[in-house]
Amino acid sequence: MAISPKLIERILQIITILIFSVLAYFFLKEGVGLVYAGAKGDWNILMEFTGWRLYITSVVPGIFVVFGGVVLVLWALPRVLKGIK
pLDDT of 3 strictly over 80:
yes
User: For position 59, what pLDDT does the model report?
Assistant: 62
Domain extents in the chain = 17-84
Mind giving me the DSSP string for the chain? -PPPHHHHHHHHHHHHHHHHHHHHHHHHHHHHHHHHHT-----EEEEEETTEEEEEES--HHHHHHHHHHHHHHHHHHHHHHHH-
Q: pTM higher than 0.85, yes or no?
A: no
User: For position 43, what pLDDT does the model report?
Assistant: 62
